[in-house]
């Protein structure tokens, strides 16, 4: 288990627009805010932290027009419509997955966005998402993957991950078939399987879906949100906004009366990968957000919950801090593999790219096969150059 709180961001002057964003995204709907941010600044910040849809869904266009003017309110409305449309597509895709699994006689467990949406916990358009995550028993994952491929879904070409098969892409959206709930360890020390969750009574059935579809119980869902956010993505704020994690935690009741109990259970499940101090800090920050507190003064405080807030903010507002965090590649990550084996696989995947990874990082190269070869030969030298920049950015943080 990591021994202490791991993130040490610098002091930060929290802009008033950030305070407004947090109150409007997480505080009581319609609660007063003494801050009146510049309209463009407010919308820009909410987009940067992937909260625009949540703010629009919770506050309504009328209040946003009153506070920010028509142009900004219209911008929030567009974000809401985009997220709501994607949510409807993903909801239909989840039903397709459930039908496919039912035809095979396979139980399926929906995760993340799909779990919250299918459970009725989300306001339409309040959470951004791009795929449907589903957990099935390890022995059955390949069968579901083949059945979906037969319906026209194709592997993305990105490498298979420890906890999931290659993502499947189709006209309706992207599906990720998980084999384990990575980092959530119930009793055996390894990441929980679908069967482990069922035997522990940690599933809630979805009676509106065909077959045997379910979602994790709140305790397991909170644990997964924390280990996914802090354990897997904590060092890469550009790849995943931790405010999305806090939105999920709020919707799961983590900032309310059940928060302490949920935190204690989650700490037991994810103790190997997330320090207890970070779980406690997450709960305190969640509670403050739900209460609609003005957190401007947290820019200089040293309490763990204030450090966590600054870590989230600086990770997308301070390029030097964000670069320094990228050395997190060499830190422990949630895994069921031995540390050296995990590190070796991580470095291999970072250096030796598939064609799909080359396309995603650089765009399709000219010259066909020779273009891909050139990119792969250049990649190690590029990473060495970046490493120097990351070390230079990290040294002030360590001091």
Give me the mean pLDDT over the 368-383 stretch: 67
Assess whether 222 and 331 both reside in one domain. no
> Residue 384 contacts by C-beta under 8 Å, 6 or more apart in sequence?
none
Residue 149 has pLDDT above 70, yes or no: yes
The pLDDT of residue 372? 65
Q: Can you say whether the dihedral through the CA atoms of 60, 237, 278, 35 is positive or negative?
A: negative
Range of the domain at 341: 319-399
State whether 230 and 350 are in the same domain.
Answer: no
Confidence band, pLDDT 50/70/90 cuts, at residue 33: confident
Whether residues 276 and 342 share a domain: the answer is no
CA distance linking residue 312 with residue 60, whole number of Å: 26
Residue 184 lies in a domain: yes
- The reply to whether 261 and 186 lie within a common domain is yes
Query: Is the same domain home to 308 and 357?
Result: no
Is 10 inside any structural domain? no
User: Is 2 domain-assigned?
Assistant: no
Task: Point out the domain boundary residue: 288, 317, 346.
Answer: 317
Shared-domain flag, residues 226 and 347? no
CATH code: domain of residue 181: 3.30.460.40
Interaxial angle between packed helices 242-251 and 218-226, expressed in degrees from 0 to 180 and rounded to the nearest 10: 170
Can you tell me whether residue 250 is helix, strand or coil? helix
Regarding whether 391 and 312 lie in a shared domain, the answer is no
Query: Among residues of the chain, what percentage have pLDDT more than 90?
Result: 65
Domain count along the chain: 2
Query: Residue 164 forms beta bridges with which residues?
Result: 178
48 and 100 share one domain: yes
Of 260, 295, 317, which residue constitutes the final position of a domain?
Answer: 317
Last residue of a domain, one of 317, 336, 365: 317
Q: How confident is the model at residue 352 (pLDDT cuts 50, 70, 90)?
A: low
Q: Is residue 135 part of a domain?
A: yes
Q: Are residues 178 and 285 in the same domain?
A: yes
Q: Give residue-wise pLDDT tens across range 52-79.
A: 999 999 999 999 999 999 999 999 999 9
Q: In angstroms, what CA-CA distances link 240 with 146, 236, 271, 276, 390?
A: 29, 7, 22, 21, 19
Whether residue 213 is found in the same domain as residue 351:
no
Residue 4 domain flag: no
Same domain? 374 vs 289: no
pTM equals 0.86
pLDDT, the chain, mean: 87
Under 8 Å between Cβ of 342 and 313:
no
Q: Does 291 have pLDDT greater than 70?
A: yes
Residue 345 inside a domain? The answer is yes
Statement to judge: residues 222 and 303 lie in one domain: yes
């Amino acid at each position: 288990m990591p021994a202490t709180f791991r993130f040490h961001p610098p002091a930060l002057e929290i802009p008033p627009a950030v305070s407004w964003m947090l109150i409007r995204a997480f505080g009581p709907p319609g609660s007063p805010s003494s801050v009146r941010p510049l309209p463009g600044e407010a919308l820009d910040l909410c987009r940067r932290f992937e909260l625009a849809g949540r703010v629009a869904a919770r506050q309504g266009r009328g209040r946003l027009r009153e506070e920010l003017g028509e142009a900004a309110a219209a911008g929030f409305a567009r974000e809401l419509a985009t997220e709501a449309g994607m949510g409807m597509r993903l909801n239909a895709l989840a039903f397709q997955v459930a039908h496919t699994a039912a035809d095979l006689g396979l139980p399926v467990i929906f995760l993340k966005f799909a779990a919250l949406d299918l459970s009725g916990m989300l306001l339409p358009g309040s959470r951004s998402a791009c795929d449907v995550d589903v957990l099935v028993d390890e022995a059955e994952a390949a069968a579901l993957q083949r059945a979906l491929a037969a319906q026209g879904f194709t592997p993305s070409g990105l490498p298979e991950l420890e906890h999931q098969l290659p993502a499947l892409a189709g006209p309706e959206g992207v599906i990720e078939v998980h084999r384990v709930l990575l980092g959530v360890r119930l009793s055996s020390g390894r990441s929980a399987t679908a069967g482990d969750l069922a035997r522990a009574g940690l599933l809630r059935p979805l009676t509106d879906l065909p077959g045997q579809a379910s979602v994790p119980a709140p305790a397991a869902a909170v644990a997964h949100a924390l280990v996914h956010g802090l354990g897997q993505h904590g060092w890469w704020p550009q790849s995943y906004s931790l405010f999305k994690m806090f939105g999920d935690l709020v919707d799961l009741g983590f900032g309310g009366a059940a928060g302490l109990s949920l935190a204690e259970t989650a700490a037991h499940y994810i103790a190997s990968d997330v320090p207890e101090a970070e779980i406690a800090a997450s709960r305190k920050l969640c509670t403050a957000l739900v209460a609609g507190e003005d957190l401007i003064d947290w820019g200089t405080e040293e309490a763990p919950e204030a450090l966590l807030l600054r870590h989230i903010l600086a990770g997308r507002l301070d390029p030097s801090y964000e670069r320094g965090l990228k050395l997190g590649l060499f830190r422990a990550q949630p895994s069921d593999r031995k540390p050296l084996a995990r590190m070796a696989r991580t470095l291999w995947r970072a250096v030796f790219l598939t064609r799909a990874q080359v396309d995603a990082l650089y765009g399709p190269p000219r010259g066909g096969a020779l273009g891909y070869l050139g990119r792969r030969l250049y990649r190690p030298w590029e990473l060495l150059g970046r490493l120097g920049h990351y070390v230079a950015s990290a040294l002030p943080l360590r001091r």
